[in-house]
Structure 1
Amino acid sequence: MANITRYDPFDVALDPFDDLFRGFLRPVRFEGQPQQMQIKMDVKENDKAYTVHAEIPGVKKEDIHVTIEGNQVSISAEVKKEKEEKEGDKVLRSERYYGKVYRSFSLGQDVDEATSVAKYNDGVLDLTLPKKATSSAKKLAIQ
């Protein structure tokens, strides 16, 4: 008996023109053009708290904002990058990037925002987010 397989028109392994159109719809980035900044994170969990390490290099700690609503954590930062190359009094090239980066994620349990701690050192934001104590289910006695 022959094996029956489902045809997927978007499967790249079956597409004979895969190499021809590879990267066709990706945005183009020219050499020397500043790359848009992203917040890269590691999130760890133990019994009592969540620990977040977020890379936000080149940003002042005054420009970083962290908000906590229940189990939703949002990190935003205002980025200002300037690079100017001069030769004598004449500017040969100037690259500036101003913008706002934003990252939001949900955790498995609500966070106690009153005891949460945020530290920023050497381009890394460290968040310690203690879990809220969950109320255990209460069994009601029927009268």
Structure 2
Amino acid sequence: MADHSSKGNSSDNGELRRVYKSPMQQMNDFFASDPLGGLLGSIDSFFQRHAMEQFGGFPVDVYETSTDWVVKADLPGVKKENIHIDTLGDRLRIAVINQEDSEINNANNYYRRERHMARMEREIPLPYQIHRQRTKARFLNGILEVRGPKYPKTRNTLDIE
């Protein structure tokens, strides 16, 4: 039977020795060990993936030529069928609805199906009334261009007698 009276006197014999750590050092050790890495990593990836949505959606340029108003929206990686355009008097609404399905099968009869849906939308006020019949949209190389003739806004208020 071994003599346990020398416990704590020597760390050379493979016994554990208690070491005092300050609360700050304990906190540093906690975060350095990365116990929440999966959670924090997923939060980081969420904010990176959805940054466009959080900061006003996608970038747009609004300008006019001598005869038309023009709205250009940068939509890289978006498919044409996922773009929806609505006219609302003197405002243009551009919405991108992206749905992705992914399925994974393997030899162990494990099956996983994930669905992701992202929606980005911008409503752009224009200094002109939009005439739907004469407004055209085209999508080429990730850039959506909507162009329409310049008609003055109609007054939607009533005069009081």
* TM-score using structure 2 length: 0.51
Aligned-residue RMSD, C-alpha: 3.2
Out of 92, 98, 106, the position equivalent to 1:79 is: 98
CA distance in 2, matches of 1:99, 1:47: 37
Q: What is the CA deviation profile of residues 19-47 of structure 1, one whole-angstrom value per residue up to 9, with x for unaligned ones?
A: xxxxxxxxx99554442132110111133
**Mind listing any 5+ residue stretches in structure 1 that lack a counterpart?**
1-27, 84-88, 90-94, 136-143
Higher helix share: 2
Matches within 5 A, 1:12-51: 31-33=44-46, 34-36=48-50, 37=52, 38-51=57-70
* Structure 2 residue aligned with 1:124: 143
Identify which of structures 1 and 2 has the higher relative contact order when contacts are C-alpha pairs closer than 8 Å and 6+ apart. 1
Relative distance call for 1:47 and 1:134 in structure 2 (3 A) is farther
Cross-structure match for 1:64: 83
3-state secondary structure, aligned to 2:133: coil
Partner of 2:125: 106
Give, in whole Å, the separation in 1 of the partners of 2:97 and 2:61. Answer: 21
Give the count of matched residue pairs.
Answer: 104
CA deviation after TM superposition for structure 1 residue 81, in Å: 6.0
* SS across alignment from 1:62: helix
Q: Kindly indicate whether the alpha-carbon contact (under 8 Å) linking 2:128 and 2:152 is maintained by their aligned counterparts in 1.
A: no
What one-letter code is carried by the residue in structure 2 that aligns with 1:46?
Answer: T
* Runs (5+) with no aligned partner, structure 2: 1-39, 108-113, 155-161
- Identity in percent: 26
Q: Report Cα offsets for 1:82-119 as digits up to 9, x if no partner.
A: 89xxxxx8xxxxx9752111100211121221111101
- Give the number of the structure whose residues are more often strand, by fraction: 1
